[in-house]
Amino acid sequence: MRDKKVKLILFSLQGSEVQTINLSWKRILSIMFSSFVVMLLMVGSSIALFTDFYKDQRITRLLRTNQALSNQLHHMSNKVTHIEGRMQVIEQNDDSLRIIAELPRLESDLRKVGTGGPFGEYVDVDVNSLPEDLRGETQKVNSLLSEIEGRIDIHNQNASQVGEKIKQNTAQLKHTPSIRPVLRELSRITDSYGMRVHPLVERKKHHDGLDIAAEIGTEVYSAAAGIVVRAEGNYKPGSGYGKVVVIDHDYGYKTLYGHLSKVLVREGQRVDRWALIGLVGKTGLTTGAHLHFEVHLNDTPVNPIDYILD
C-alpha cells in the first residue's frame, strides 16, 4: 500500500486544461490529520469565544440583578423607616388612651424590651458574603423590623389592657351615683350632710344624708344602676326611715331613699339610673314631706352632694 498513490484529475467543464495531482497515502493521511487538527482548533476557539460571551452576558445579568436588589433594599429601608414613624404615632395614641383609661403611661424602655433579634431571623443569607454597603443596610433593616415587631406585640397587649380598663370604667361610671333623685325644679334641699341639731330630739347629731323637700307623691329616681337590696313598704309610724329603698350599685356604693309614701320596686330587682323607685312621702321619723337621701361608700356614709352632677 506504501507504493500505491492516488491520482486526482482536476478539469473545468468550460475549458480544456487538465491538471493531475498524485498523492501518496501518507500525504493524504497527513492532510486529513492536519485538517482535523485545524478543525479541532476552530471548534475549540469557537467554544471559547461563545463561553466568554456567555460569561460576559451572565455577569452583566448578575450585575443588573444585584443593582436591582440593592435598589429594592434601599426602598425597603425607607419603607421600614416610614413604618417606624407611623409606629411612633400609634404609641402616642396609646399614651392618650391610657390617660383616658386612668392607666400609667408605658415607659419608653419597656417598648424596647425584646427587640433587636438575630440577623437570620428575617434574612436567610450569610451577611459576610454581602458587599460592605449592603451588609450595613441589611443589618439596619433587620434591626428595625425586629424592633417594630416587639413594639407591635406591646401595642397589642396595651390595647387589650386599655380596652378592659375602659370597659371596667364605663361599668363603674354606670354604677356610680351621679344624679339628684328628685328633679331639681320640683324640690329643694332643706338639710345637708354633717352635724346638726335634730329637729325632733333637739340634740346635736350627725346627719348622714340630704333632706330634699318635695310634695307628697313626687317621683323618686335611682341615682345609678344597681340591685335593690331593701324595699320596705311596712314601717312603724314615728320611727326610722319609714318606707325605704336601699340599692347596691357595686364598686362599694349603696344609696338609701327614706320617708317614701310608696315603694315601686322589689328586693332583687335590677334598676338603671333614672329608674322610678318610689314616691316622696313623710313616713317614719319626720316633720314634713321630703326625701332623705344617703350615699354610702364601703359601708361608710359620704356627702351625697359630691355625687349630684346633674
For residue 19, what are the domain limits?
1-174
Whether residue 145 sits in one domain with residue 168: yes
Total structural domains within the chain: 2
DSSP 307: G
Q: What is the pTM of this model?
A: 0.57
Judge if 22 and 139 occupy the same domain.
yes
Q: What is the pLDDT of residue 119?
A: 44
Residues 166 and 247 in one domain: no
Residues 6+ apart with CB under 8 A from 246: 228, 229, 230, 231, 254, 255, 256, 257
Residue 4 lies in a domain: yes
3-state secondary structure of 150: helix
pLDDT at 120: 46
3-state secondary structure 198-225: CCCCCCEEEECCEEEECCCCCEEECCCC
Q: What is the CATH number of the domain that holds 280?
A: 2.70.70.10
- Shared domain for 239 and 113, answered yes or no, is no
The tens digit of pLDDT for each residue in 190-234 reads 989 988 666 555 567 788 999 999 999 999 999 999 999 999 988
Does residue 263 form part of some domain? yes
Q: Single out the residue in 174, 208, 238 at which a domain terminates.
A: 174
pLDDT mean for each 10 residues of the chain (310 residues)? 64 67 72 80 76 70 68 74 78 76 72 51 56 68 76 79 81 92 94 74 78 96 96 84 95 96 96 96 90 95 91
Residue 167 host element (H or E): helix 132-174
| 105 and 242 both lie in a single domain | no
